[in-house]
Chains A and B, each alone.
Chain A
């Protein structure tokens, strides 16, 4: 056994050395070449069709906007975007990732929206070493058990978006609550984070309700909530499910007697469809459209001008992905062979994001403010900071 591991280590060292030498040979001329510098290949694995297509487009367009605002280059080299439609399909994730990493040999990889896709992607890039920036998927494990020196995240961990809500609800006097979400990984991680901070501070979760994903028939559970009469309800749904849950909750007459709280995704991008039913819902998230700071104002204007669409939290994450890549590439003046230096620069970056300034944790997940938002007149209005500079606990991550 020891002999085997020694030989493996030497072989790996040899390969590494060879790769570094090859990398140097390829890249020494590039930045200094006369005329056109070689293009940086940026792989983008996002959904461009299906339910999440709108998210994929917003992330991509905002990322390109960030890079174009700085002259359209990464460290002085022009960028070639290699886009692959992930279809938000975990079963195609490994093949799609390999297409970009092994087939196209991209210098950087960004995406995806779906956590299942992110897990498959993380598994591959951990082996291949491609510098990867996760621009949405919130699965906790990406910056916990799966964390790696070459994996960064500019979005959030599911844990982060819900953890601050526990103390906040207790502060409002809600000691007995019911939680409700879909029975799938993201839902359980979100509710788990809420439970952690709520129970630790003396709250009681009367019942944790799990709805089979993606079932949207809530009537039976609403009746149960009405009979349990908790002080409040904490929930996580997204997209069409969020719209239906919020509307059903109001239509069942529960809204007036049992206030509804939730992860920010409950009311983000869904408010026009939810209408009056969403008024007064309090949520936590790392961004709000109406966030009052100059970077956000400028970004929203620029995004609107570039795409004719309104920016959202996904666009912000895409924008910051672009900024983070630029930060890394500027530090090495475009030398993609200097991976270590790029990663070190990215790790130490402080991004002046539309969501406010943030840095990266040891596990390379944002250390960011989580805002408290309340729906007022069809808008998620920021009513305070629920948790300043919150870092994911990164349990199980060995990066130090």
Chain B
């Protein structure tokens, strides 16, 4: 195994890690910060991917499709929060699990009715369609670098908003003690509605961005859901930095696991999670009691 091979595999790992963080970012917000167990996270991701496919067909431009799709998914998130999630903040987690599982079934069926059961591909936008040659035989698609860049932007924006702004402060406070924040004169209901719809839109956004590399098919959301929870749990609930580190760890373990020990590649990621949880039950960066 020579150095360039190692370097390219590391690039693969980092790139996959970025993609994972992007996909898990919406869940970090909803599950990590707000403490809502949102099993429908994968469904929002799937809706994003299908919207990208559909709007790209209509407009012929993926970036335009994303620009149109984002407000739609924010709206969808808002509707779901107002009609369903909003009633469950004070209830047990079990109610949230039941409700969001129901949402999965409904949203999947909606996808079937609207877009059918076929597998679709979304072309990479022309501006980003080039490849960079790495070795004689392998080159790297520019679009993957673009995804990484988008991920860094999302991660930075999330970190700044949650940790450095007044809005972020109230969100964190509201998640820890809803009543107290309410007494202080902040409309927590409205605040959470905004956060939830942003989280849903983030999930959809990652679905849109990764549609060209992942292809679009029924059931794509369920796969993403599990790995997203793994990312958030490894990183520690409530920590954006943790989710980022968790995603990177999984990227490396999955990539090198496949190459070095292919026999156990299927469980490597979950073994990592088990080890992390045995060592630090609250996750790598989780410290919050709730």
A residues lining the B interface (CB < 8 Å): 49-51, 53-54, 183, 209-217, 219-224, 226-227, 229, 239-240, 242-244, 247-248, 251-254, 257-258, 269-270, 272-275
Contact = CB atoms under 8 A, between A and B. Distances in A.
A223 B8 contact: yes
Interface of B: 2, 5, 8-9, 12-13, 15-16, 112, 116-121, 123-124, 131, 133, 135-141, 143, 213-220, 223, 254-256, 258-259, 262, 265-267
Given A226-B135, A229-B137, A251-B131, A53 B258 contact: no
Nearest to A226: B138
Contacts of A247: 121, 213, 215
A274 B118 CA distance: 12
Nearest to B133: A253
B255 A50 contact: no
A127 B265 CA distance: 39
A214 B123 CA distance: 23
A183 B258 contact: no
Interface centre among A220, A258, A270, A275 (most CB of B within 10 A): A220
A50 B219 contact: yes
13 contacts: A53-B218, A211-B265, A212-B267, A216-B214, A223-B9, A240-B216, A244-B215, A247-B121, A253-B131, A253-B139, A258-B137, A269-B118, A272-B120
Given A214-B223, A220-B259, A223-B8, A252 B214 contact: no
A253 B16 contact: no
B140 to A, nearest CB: 7
Contacts of B136: 257
Contact of A273 (B9, B119, B219, B220): B119
B222 to A, nearest CB: 10
Q: Which 10 A-B pairs have the closest CB atoms?
A: A212-B266, A253-B139, A273-B121, A226-B138, A240-B217, A243-B215, A220-B255, A226-B137, A251-B141, A54-B117
Contact of B217 (A212, A239, A275): A239
Interface centre among A211, A219, A243, A275 (most CB of B within 10 A): A219
Given A53-B112, A219-B16, A239-B217, A275 B121 contact: yes
Contacts of A273: 118-121, 215-216
Contacts of B213: 244, 247-248, 251
A153 to B, nearest CB: 24
B119 A239 contact: yes
Contacts of A257: 136-137
A240 B214 CA distance: 8
Nearest to A215: B266
Nearest to B20: A217
Contacts of A243: 119, 121, 215, 217
B15 A219 contact: yes
A272 B131 contact: no
Contacts of B16: 217, 219
A239 B273 CA distance: 29
Contacts of A254: 137-138
Interface centre among A50, A212, A223, A244 (most CB of B within 10 A): A223
Nearest to B129: A251
B258 A221 contact: yes
Contacts of A49: 112
Contacts of A213: 266
A354 B219 CA distance: 32
A155 B16 CA distance: 38
Contacts of B15: 219
A221 B259 contact: yes
Nearest to A216: B214
A183 to B, nearest CB: 6
A211 B254 CA distance: 11
Contacts of A219: 12, 15-16, 255
A272 B216 CA distance: 12
A186 B41 CA distance: 30
Contacts of B215: 216, 240, 243-244, 247, 273
Given A216-B214, A217-B16, A220-B12, A240 B220 contact: yes
A61 B50 CA distance: 27
Contacts of B12: 219-220, 223
A54 B116 CA distance: 9
A248 B124 CA distance: 12
B266 A183 contact: yes
A53 B116 CA distance: 10
A258 B136 CA distance: 12
Nearest to B220: A240
A364 B119 CA distance: 33
Nearest to A277: B121
A247 B217 CA distance: 15
Nearest to A52: B117
A214 B131 CA distance: 27
Contacts of A269: 118-119
B5 A223 contact: yes
Contact of A223 (B119, B138, B217, B220): B138
A183 B266 CA distance: 9
Given A209-B262, A215-B265, 19 more contacts: A51-B218, A183-B266, A210-B265, A212-B267, A216-B214, A219-B12, A219-B16, A220-B258, A221-B259, A222-B138, A223-B8, A226-B137, A227-B2, A240-B215, A251-B131, A251-B213, A254-B137, A270-B119, A273-B216
B254 to A, nearest CB: 7
A262 to B, nearest CB: 16
Contacts of A53: 112, 117, 218
Contacts of B267: 212
Contacts of B138: 222-223, 226-227, 252-254
A220 B117 contact: no
Contacts of B139: 252-253
A51 B141 contact: no
B140 A252 contact: yes
A51 B215 CA distance: 14
